[in-house]
């Protein structure tokens, strides 16, 4: 690694003089550097926040979920046993069987032999048929609302027997509509663009001109190649007699090679500034570059902005899924940390509530009262 701290990108920006304002090319160059700096800082801060909280948070959630599943299994076995022995009315037995089926649904991912054996008992063909009928009726009601929103019938509606399947079918059909509309619009835009480009090419060919976009791309490659060669020449380790300095240059040259492979212009500019520190007469800073060179370099900087934005989006999406809370680089870190703490507390509370229920229903009077409360709660939730 270099013995000098890497300079901030702000030191690479073109500075306006008292006599002249920045040109549009200089402003664009500065804007891209600023965006690269901002995105890089956001990624670093978000990764640091993740490193600080991620492991402990995931571990806490895993422990709470495992404890809750243990309590659910104990509840399942207890209610099943009381169904065989307790003095329950037909209505209470129905409530208890419904409670057992609900617990089995929660425990299904465990693939536990005891849970599976009870599932074979309680999830009977009659229950399955009744549930399928309810699902089909709900799917039909949802189909009517979706068709009204789409303005056309759902394709092959008989294939979808549950509200979830009907909703997914409606979403796919809506997406196809949107994609078809967008494709038609894109085709029109592409045709107009192709026509304009063809006209420009014809005009350029008549004048013997090279397209400006191609020139900028070629200039960008040329600029970064020139910068690489200057650095390679200045840092050549074999030309350095001092052992310490040779090691420093070897490390810097390794960074130069890696940056050149990735077309990482900002790193090369930073390294150039480190190499030329203390030798102002050798500096070829952005302020001295002609606008055409800045425009060419901006092509590379724009690519870096796009790559960094993709990296940030991927990091935010991955952490949101892993941590079960919305994660945004522009959000307040304390607020996100509080969200982690809330979901941890909710999971612990869920496990504690199940344990409290299990202690409570040890006598038949409380069991009956609890079954009624759970039935009413399930009814209110589904309403």
- Which of 105-109, 148-152, 227-231, 331-335 is the most confident on average? 331-335
Residue 339 has pLDDT above 60, yes or no: yes
Residue showing tokens 């306006």: 16
Residue matched to tokens 């991927």: 314
Total domains present in the chain? 1
Q: Residue 7 burial (CB < 10 Å; 0-12/13-18/19+)?
A: middle
Expressed as residue numbers, the domain containing 169 is 133-209
Whether 160 contacts 132, CB under 8 Å: no
Between 239 and 32, residue with greater pLDDT? 32
Q: Is residue 66 part of a domain?
A: no
- How far is the C-alpha of 237 from the C-alpha of 279, rounded, in Å? 19
101 domain-assigned: no
Residue 223 lies in a domain: no
- Residue 237: the pLDDT is 73
End-to-end Cα separation, the chain, in angstroms: 64
pLDDT at 129 (0 to 100): 64
Distance CA(287)–CA(291), nearest Å, equals 10
- Residue 106 is assigned to a structural domain of this protein: no
Residue 29 counted as domain residue? no
Q: Identify which has the larger pLDDT, 211 or 52.
A: 52
Q: What is the pLDDT of residues 282-313, one digit of tens each?
A: 444 455 566 777 777 787 788 888 888 999 99
Nearest to 114 by CA among 124, 125, 128, 103: 103
Q: In this model, does residue 165 exceed pLDDT 50?
A: yes
Higher pLDDT among residues 289 and 193, named by residue: 193
Q: pLDDT exceeding 90 applies to what percent of the chain? A: 31
Q: How buried is 307 (Cβ within 10 angstroms: 0-12 exposed, 13-18 middle, 19+ buried)? A: middle
And the tokens for 263? Answer: 């077309």
Residue 356 lies in a domain: no
CA–CA distance, 206 with 208 (Å, rounded to integer): 6
pLDDT of 202 strictly over 70: no
Residue with tokens 């003089």: 17
Is 156 strand, coil or helix? coil
Interval 39-92: pLDDT, tens: 999 999 999 999 999 999 999 999 999 999 999 999 999 999 999 988 999 999
Give the ranges where 86-124 is alpha helix by DSSP (H): 90-107, 113-122
Assess if residue 285 is contained within a domain: no
Does 309 reside within a domain? Answer: no
Confidence of residue 329 (pLDDT cuts 50, 70, 90): very high
Q: What pLDDT is stored for residue 302 in this prediction?
A: 85
């Amino acid at each position: 690694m270099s013995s000098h701290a890497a300079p901030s990108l702000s030191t690479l920006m073109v500075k306006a003089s008292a006599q002249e304002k920045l040109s549009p090319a200089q402003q664009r160059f500065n804007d891209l550097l600023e965006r690269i700096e901002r995105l890089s800082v956001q990624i670093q801060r978000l990764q640091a926040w993740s490193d600080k909280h991620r492991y402990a948070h995931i571990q806490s959630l895993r422990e709470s979920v495992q404890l809750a599943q243990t309590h659910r299994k104990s509840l399942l076995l207890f209610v099943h046993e009381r169904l065989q022995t307790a003095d329950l009315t037909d209505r209470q037995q129905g409530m208890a069987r419904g409670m057992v089926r609900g617990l089995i649904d929660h425990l299904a991912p465990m693939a536990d032999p005891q849970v599976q054996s009870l599932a074979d008992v309680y999830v009977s063909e009659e229950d399955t048929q009744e549930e399928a009928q309810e699902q089909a009726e709900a799917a039909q009601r949802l189909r009517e609302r979706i068709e009204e929103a789409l303005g056309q019938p759902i394709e092959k509606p008989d294939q979808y027997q549950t509200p979830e399947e009907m909703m997914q079918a409606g979403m796919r059909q809506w997406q196809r509509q949107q994609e078809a509309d967008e494709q038609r619009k894109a085709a029109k835009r592409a045709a107009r663009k192709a026509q304009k480009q063809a006209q420009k090419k014809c005009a350029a060919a008549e004048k013997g001109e090279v397209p400006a976009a191609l020139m900028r791309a070629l200039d960008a490659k040329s600029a970064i190649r020139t910068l690489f060669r200057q650095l390679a020449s200045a840092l050549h380790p074999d030309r350095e007699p001092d052992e310490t300095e040779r090691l420093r240059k070897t490390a810097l040259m390794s960074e130069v090679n890696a940056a050149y492979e990735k077309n990482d212009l900002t790193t090369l500019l930073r390294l150039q500034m480190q190499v030329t520190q203390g030798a102002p007469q050798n500096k070829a800073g952005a302020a001295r570059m002609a606008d055409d060179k800045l425009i060419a370099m901006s092509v590379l900087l724009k690519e870096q902005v796009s790559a960094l934005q993709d990296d940030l989006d991927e990091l935010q999406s991955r952490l949101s899924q892993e941590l079960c809370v919305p994660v945004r680089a522009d959000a307040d870190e304390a607020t996100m940390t509080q969200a982690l703490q809330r979901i941890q507390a909710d999971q612990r509370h869920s496990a504690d509530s199940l344990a409290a229920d299990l202690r409570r229903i040890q006598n038949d009077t409380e069991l009956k009262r609890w079954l009624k409360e759970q039935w009413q709660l399930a009814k209110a939730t589904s309403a």
